[in-house]
Structure 1
Amino acid sequence: MMRRFAAAFFLSLLSTLAPAADALGPDQLLERIRSERAAEVGAMAEREKAFLAKHSEQASLLAAARAELNAQKAEAERLKAEFDRQAAQLAEQEKQLTLHVGDFGELFAVVRQSAGDIAGQWQDSLLNAQYPERLARLKALAKSRVPPSSEDLDGYWMTLLEDLAASGRVERVELPVVGLDGQRKTQPVLRVGTFSSFGEAGFLRYDAEAGELLAAANQPSGRGQATSYLESGEALAELPVDPTRGTLLAQLQREPDFWTRLQQGGLVGWVIVALGAFGLCLAAWRMIYLGGVARSIKAQLQDLGTPRRDNPLGRVIGMLGPQPQLADLETLELKLDEAILQETPPLERGLGLVKLISAVAPLLGLLGTVTGMIVTFQAITQSGGGDSRLMADGISQALVTTVQGLVVAIPMLFLHSLLAGRSKALIQLLEQQSAGLVALHLSGAPRRD
């Protein structure tokens, strides 16, 4: 079996080399194999040489890195020793400083603490607009880690005296003021101690973050007195002041105006406002109409003999026609009742709608309250109840819509009562005059004014 396999392999090898043997002779083939072998050996030698060169280079780099590491370790040891030496020297110097300072250390600590406390108290003071550098000096003194010099102590004392003197003065100074349009303009400012300040636009408020005086958008009462004082130049005048040193004025700036209140009611609030406006217009129209009817009836009462068609009483009188007979009494009464019934709907028109508005408005306010509380609970769920400002919208809607509903409902109730009373009085007047006219016709007496 092995012999057959070897013979087959040898035959296949001969068949493979047969074309090459036909092209090249044995010597040429051998020479070619030797040249290719020599080329391969040369390439392998070059590769080995390059590898050995790189190995030598890597060894030199490793040696350099180790030398650098040893140098850095030595430098670290030197720096650590230097740090320990300087730390010991610093501790010794601090000890010497404590011994030399003695009781002055406590004094300096009190001065620094006092400067920090006063800087916090003066953070929102109006005097910062006139003396902007004093806060910087106080904060620098409070944060200083070295004992203050005699000049620092003297400057601190003078700053306290200046504040004491300025707090009791009412003076006019030229200061930059940021107006409502955002433009900064230097103008005369009347400063009343540390309580209030007035400019050309009225009350001014101090912005501690920007360190500037700002014109107040919402002005309290008394702004005219300050303007008159600035223009007249008199020494004595009545001036309103803010005893809270700007707190009340700041709260006034955050107070929403009428338009903002309406917007806080949301969609339900606008529906209530629209319903109230419609109800007022309807009530005003009915009031004008009933007033005109009352005047026309009053004019007709002055001349019952000449009925006119421009008023209900004249139209009722016109139903009588010529003087009826006694046998026509029932027919006459029915005609008068029919005429009065025809005049009643125009006189009572719109009363039911006014009453409906007075009943629906509180219900809409309750609806706004419920939706506002839903918004509030959603805000609590999302924020965890940590930020009250996120719940302000829902609470505002809940309260504002309730107020809007009551504000609309209460006047509507009064207007409905007034309109119902007027229309009822006119209807009673028609019934009274119709009964009197029947009596006159039956008695045969002529109509009198």
Structure 2
Amino acid sequence: MKIIKSAAVILILVLLCIPAFGQDMRARSVEAQRQKAMLEQRALEEKQAAQKEAREALAKIVSDRQAAKAAVADLNQKNSETKENIADLQKRISELEAQKAALKQELSNMDAQTRTLVGHVRSNARDALALVKQSQQSALIPGRADALKELAGQSRFPSIEQIDAMAEILLDEIARSGEVRIEKASIVDRLGREAVADVLTLGEFTAAYSMGDETGFLLYSDTSQRFFALSKLPSSKYRKALRAYMNGESPVALMDLTKGAALRQLTQEKGLAERLPQGGPIIWVILALGGFAMLLVLERVVFLLRIRVNASKLMAQIQPLAQNGDWKECLDLLKAQKSKPLARVLAWGIKHRHLERMDMENALQEAILGEIPALERFLSIIAMMAAVAPLLGLLGTVTGMINTFHVITYYGAGDPKMMSGGISEALLTTMLGLAAAIPIMLAHTLLSRRIEGSIAQMEEKAVSLANTIYAVREKE
């Protein structure tokens, strides 16, 4: 627009400076002005159009900008809302994942607990089945282990009824194991026949039966779950005690705390009368030796009891008489007990009271030495028997072992029972020899101590008498 104005001004100046131009120039000037006006008008219109377009563009831009801002704000809000929704959804997903994991873990734990519970139930059922089979009460209640067999063997989850049945069986077992019962029951007697008898059960430890005049112990077999009578009846003492208890006549019951082991041993037990012939001829020699030694010991005991005297009391009676010089009274007092070695020694000393001290002490020692053989009579024989008895037992054992090895040579060593039986019989003589030697040695020791005490007592009282006699001499 400035260029157009400048061109118009120049044109006017040219027209003014050249007035000589003619009418054409005026026409041209008029035309130029008209064109200028037209150009200015056009320029003005174009300017207005351009300004209008600019305003419209600006308005549109402003409108678009505001719309864009609104759209951006809206999008930002939606974006924020979307982010919040995403965060909420992610949080919800995390919560659901955690719940899923927790539920999965809970399901796994419940499954494991269920399997553990089933395993415990089956294990307890197997334990209960083993317990019931080993319980002697099962012989009185046939078929009570059937429910436990089914429960222990099935693969599905046990029912409450089955668990209740197992609990009832266990409670019944507990109750019965602490009770004493007498009831009719079927047993297998000593001849292998089935019979009905009065069966006494003392908890889980011992069972006995009474059938007519026969009374004995029962053994329980967990394989067949039945009672079997011992093949050998107990001694009459045991049978009498069992019968009295079963009849209510005695409060004392015989009980095997080993649950049958001692009763089985009872059937294998042999008395001394049954064992003696198995030891061979040397057994009788040992018995004769032991019997003879016991007779000698008994004779020595009787002898020592017969010559026993209260030495202190005797000296208390003699010393006042000796101090008074009443020797006759002393001798009479000692003669009244002449069966006692001490009295004879003291009497011998009083008879030799007139000798010198050395001679009188020698006389007393001679009297004591004279009494010793009677006191020590048979002691050496008893000691010899105590030494010989175990040697005889050893001789019998060696002889029995030789016989056992001869049997092994002929028949082989394939049967341990045969070997153990032969060795047991061979050792019987050693046992009996030691059984004879030990009391003999003890008796010999006690007798020797007693005799040594008697000799020491005689020596002491002899010295006391010599001192009393010489005290009286010095006074005279």
Distance across 1 between alignment mates of 2:351 and 2:269: 72
Q: 1:411 to 1:363 in 2, by over 3 A?
A: same
CA contact (8 A) 2:401 2:422 kept: yes
Given candidates 250, 255, 258, the residue that maps to 1:240 is 255
Q: 1:229 to 1:203 in 2, by over 3 A?
A: same
How far has the Cα of 1:424 moved from its partner?
A: 1.1
Q: 1:221 to 1:320 in 2, by over 3 A?
A: closer
How far has the Cα of 1:125 moved from its partner?
A: 8.0
**1:377-392 alignment to 2 at 5 Å?**
377-392=405-420
| Residue matched to 1:358 | 386
| Residue matched to 1:190 | 200
How far has the Cα of 1:282 moved from its partner?
A: 1.6
Q: In the alignment, is residue 230 of structure 1 matched against residue 258 of structure 2?
A: no
Q: 1:337 to 1:229 in 2, by over 3 A?
A: closer
1:259-306 deviation per Cα after TM superposition (whole angstroms, max 9, x unaligned): 333333322223222222222222222122112212375664453322
| Residue matched to 1:437 | 465
| Residue matched to 2:42 | none
Given candidates 287, 290, 303, the residue that maps to 1:276 is 290
1:61-115 deviation per Cα after TM superposition (whole angstroms, max 9, x unaligned): xxxxxxxxxxxxxxxxxxxxxxxxxxxxxxxxxxxxxxxxxxxxxxxxxxxxxxx
**Which one-letter code corresponds to 2:445 in the other structure?**
S
Distance across 1 between alignment mates of 2:466 and 2:219: 78
Distance across 1 between alignment mates of 2:429 and 2:399: 10
Q: 1:319 to 1:191 in 2, by over 3 A?
A: closer
Q: In the alignment, is residue 425 of structure 1 matched against residue 453 of structure 2?
A: yes
| Residue matched to 1:58 | none
| Residue matched to 1:137 | none
Q: In the alignment, is residue 199 of structure 1 matched against residue 209 of structure 2?
A: yes
1:176-214 deviation per Cα after TM superposition (whole angstroms, max 9, x unaligned): 889999999964222468864212435234799x99635
Task: Give me the TM-score of the superposition, normalised by structure 1.
Answer: 0.53
Task: Give me the TM-score of the superposition, normalised by structure 2.
Answer: 0.50
Distance across 1 between alignment mates of 2:334 and 2:252: 70
| Residue matched to 1:259 | 273
Given candidates 229, 238, 249, the residue that maps to 1:213 is 229
How far has the Cα of 1:130 moved from its partner?
A: 9.1
How far has the Cα of 1:417 moved from its partner?
A: 1.5
1:347-396 deviation per Cα after TM superposition (whole angstroms, max 9, x unaligned): 11111111111211121121112111101101101111123343345312
**Which one-letter code corresponds to 2:381 in the other structure?**
L
How far has the Cα of 1:257 moved from its partner?
A: 2.3
State the secondary structure of the residue aligned to 2:413: coil
**1:77-96 alignment to 2 at 5 Å?**
none
Q: 1:274 to 1:299 in 2, by over 3 A?
A: farther
CA contact (8 A) 2:183 2:200 kept: yes
Q: 1:203 to 1:167 in 2, by over 3 A?
A: farther
| Residue matched to 2:51 | none
Distance across 2 between alignment mates of 1:430 and 1:181: 71
**Which one-letter code corresponds to 2:247 in the other structure?**
E
CA contact (8 A) 1:359 1:409 kept: yes
How far has the Cα of 1:322 moved from its partner?
A: 5.0
State the secondary structure of the residue aligned to 1:198: strand
State the secondary structure of the residue aligned to 1:303: helix
**Which one-letter code corresponds to 2:268 in the other structure?**
R
Q: 1:285 to 1:183 in 2, by over 3 A?
A: farther
State the secondary structure of the residue aligned to 2:317: coil
State the secondary structure of the residue aligned to 1:197: strand
Given candidates 348, 354, 358, the residue that maps to 1:319 is 348
CA contact (8 A) 2:256 2:263 kept: no
Alignment gaps of 5+ in structure 1: 1-117, 135-160
CA contact (8 A) 1:222 1:240 kept: no
CA contact (8 A) 2:386 2:440 kept: yes
RMSD: 4.7
Distance across 2 between alignment mates of 1:294 and 1:181: 62
Q: 1:227 to 1:406 in 2, by over 3 A?
A: same
Distance across 1 between alignment mates of 2:455 and 2:314: 15
Q: In the alignment, is residue 413 of structure 1 matched against residue 422 of structure 2?
A: no
**Which one-letter code corresponds to 1:213 in the other structure?**
A
How far has the Cα of 1:412 moved from its partner?
A: 2.1
1:105-164 deviation per Cα after TM superposition (whole angstroms, max 9, x unaligned): xxxxxxxxxxxxx9xx99998977997xx9xxxxxxxxxxxxxxxxxxxxxxxxxx9xx8
CA contact (8 A) 2:279 2:425 kept: yes
CA contact (8 A) 1:205 1:215 kept: no
CA contact (8 A) 2:219 2:227 kept: no
- The structure with the largest alpha-carbon Rg is 2
Q: 1:357 to 1:303 in 2, by over 3 A?
A: same
Distance across 1 between alignment mates of 2:280 and 2:457: 47
How far has the Cα of 1:398 moved from its partner?
A: 2.4
Moved more, 381-390 or 166-175: 166-175
Q: 1:379 to 1:231 in 2, by over 3 A?
A: same
CA contact (8 A) 2:217 2:229 kept: no
CA contact (8 A) 1:361 1:406 kept: yes
Distance across 2 between alignment mates of 1:416 and 1:271: 20
Count how many residue pairs are aligned between Structure 1 and Structure 2.
Answer: 294
How far has the Cα of 1:243 moved from its partner?
A: 5.8
| Residue matched to 2:317 | 303
Alignment gaps of 5+ in structure 2: 1-128, 144-165, 319-329
How far has the Cα of 1:413 moved from its partner?
A: 2.1
**1:111-130 alignment to 2 at 5 Å?**
none
CA contact (8 A) 1:205 1:214 kept: yes
| Residue matched to 1:339 | 367
| Residue matched to 2:85 | none
Distance across 2 between alignment mates of 1:237 and 1:277: 38
CA contact (8 A) 1:368 1:401 kept: yes
CA contact (8 A) 2:383 2:440 kept: yes
Given candidates 179, 182, 185, the residue that maps to 1:172 is 182
Q: 1:286 to 1:206 in 2, by over 3 A?
A: same
